[in-house]
Copies of this chain bind each other. A is one copy, B any other.
Amino acid sequence: MIFTQKWTGRRVGYEESFPVTVPGDIQADYAQFMGWGDVNYGDSWAKFRQLEDDTWVYSTRVQCEANENERVYFVTKGIEYEYDVCMNGKVLLHHEGMFTPVDVDITEALSYGDLLEVIIYPHPKREGAAECRDQADQCCKPAVGYEWDWHPRLLVSGLWDETYIETRKESFIRDAEVFYTLDEDLKGAEVRFEIDCDGECEVELYGPDGLLVYRGPERVIRLENVKLWWCNGQGHQNLYQWAVYSDSKMRRGRIGFRRVRLVMNDGAWDEPSVFPKGRSNPPITIELNGRRIFAKGSNWVTPEIFTGQIDWGTYEKQLDLARRANMNILRCWGGAIINKESFFDLCDEYGLMVWQEFPLACNNYVGTPHYLAVLEQEARAIIKRVRQHACHVLWCGGNELFNDWSMMTDQSHALRLLNKLCYEMDFDKPFIPTSPIMGMAHGHYHFHEVDTGRYSFEIFNGSSNTAYTEFGVPAIVDVEQLKLAIPEADLHDPKPGGVWQSHMAFGAWGEESWFCKGILDDIFGPQETLEDYIEKSNWTQCVGYKHIFEEARRQWPHCSMAINWCYNEPWINAAGNMLLEYPAKPRPAYYAVQSSLRPVLPSARMETFAYDGGSVFSAELWLLNDAPVEVSDTIHVYIIIDGVKEHVMDWKTGVVPAQTNKRGHKIQIQLPAEAVTQKLILRLESDRYDVSEYELLLRGKKKVDEPEVKILNM
Which residues in A have some Cβ–Cβ distance to B below 8 Å?
261-262, 264, 269-270, 275-280, 282-283, 402-404, 407, 409-411, 413, 416-417, 419-420, 423-424, 427, 430-432, 434, 436-445, 449, 459-460, 463, 465, 468, 471
**A276-B442, A276-B468, A420-B423 are known contacts; what are 11 more A-B pairs with Cβ within 8 Å?**
A262-B411, A275-B442, A275-B445, A277-B441, A279-B402, A279-B434, A280-B402, A416-B419, A416-B423, A416-B431, A419-B419
Q: Which of B262, B411, B440 contacts A283 (CB 8 A)?
A: B411
Query: Given the interface contacts A402-B280, A413-B423, A420-B420, does A438 sit within 8 Å of B438 by beta carbon?
Result: yes
Enumerate 20 A-B pairs (CB-CB under 8 Å) in ascending A order: A264-B407, A264-B409, A269-B403, A269-B407, A275-B444, A276-B442, A276-B443, A276-B444, A276-B460, A276-B465, A276-B468, A277-B441, A278-B440, A278-B441, A280-B402, A282-B410, A283-B410, A283-B411, A419-B420, A420-B420
Query: Given the interface contacts A404-B269, A416-B419, does A409 sit within 8 Å of B283 by beta carbon?
Result: yes
Copies of the polypeptide in the assembly: 2
Residue of B nearest to A422 (CB): B416
How far apart are A369's CB and chain B's nearest CB, in angstroms? 10
Residue of B nearest to A548 (CB): B276
* Cα-based distance from A409 to B283 in the complex (angstroms): 7
Judge whether B436 and A278 touch: CB under 8 Å: yes
Query: Given the interface contacts A419-B416, A427-B413, does A276 sit within 8 Å of B441 by beta carbon?
Result: yes
Q: Which 3 A-B pairs have the closest CB atoms?
A: A276-B441, A275-B443, A275-B444
Which residues of B sit under 8 angstroms from A276, Cβ to Cβ? 441-444, 459-460, 463, 465, 468, 471
* Cα-based distance from A276 to B442 in the complex (angstroms): 5
Which residues of B sit under 8 angstroms from A437, Cβ to Cβ? 279, 410
Which residues of B sit under 8 angstroms from A438, Cβ to Cβ? 278-279, 438
How far apart are A433's CB and chain B's nearest CB, in angstroms? 8
Judged by DSSP, the binding face of A is: loop
* Cα-based distance from A434 to B262 in the complex (angstroms): 19
How far apart are A436's CB and chain B's nearest CB, in angstroms? 5
Judge whether A261 and B419 touch: CB under 8 Å: no
Which residues of B sit under 8 angstroms from A277, Cβ to Cβ? 403, 436, 441-443
Which residues of B sit under 8 angstroms from A280, Cβ to Cβ? 402-404
Which residues of B sit under 8 angstroms from A439, Cβ to Cβ? 278
Which residues of B sit under 8 angstroms from A279, Cβ to Cβ? 402-403, 434, 436-438, 440
* Cα-based distance from A471 to B276 in the complex (angstroms): 8
Which residues of B sit under 8 angstroms from A402, Cβ to Cβ? 279-280, 282
Judge whether B459 and A404 touch: CB under 8 Å: no
Judge whether B278 and A465 touch: CB under 8 Å: yes
Judge whether B409 and A417 touch: CB under 8 Å: no
Query: Given the interface contacts A420-B423, A423-B417, does A411 sit within 8 Å of B430 by beta carbon?
Result: yes
Which residues of B sit under 8 angstroms from A443, Cβ to Cβ? 275-277
* Cα-based distance from A270 to B436 in the complex (angstroms): 16
Which residues of B sit under 8 angstroms from A411, Cβ to Cβ? 261-262, 282-283, 430-431
How far apart are A514's CB and chain B's nearest CB, in angstroms? 16
How far apart are A447's CB and chain B's nearest CB, in angstroms? 12
Residue of B nearest to A283 (CB): B409
How far apart are A466's CB and chain B's nearest CB, in angstroms? 10
Residue of B nearest to A437 (CB): B279
Which residues of B sit under 8 angstroms from A282, Cβ to Cβ? 402, 409-411
* Cα-based distance from A465 to B272 in the complex (angstroms): 13
Which residues of B sit under 8 angstroms from A262, Cβ to Cβ? 409, 411
* Cα-based distance from A440 to B407 in the complex (angstroms): 19
* Cα-based distance from A41 to B667 in the complex (angstroms): 70
* Cα-based distance from A441 to B444 in the complex (angstroms): 29
How far apart are A464's CB and chain B's nearest CB, in angstroms? 10
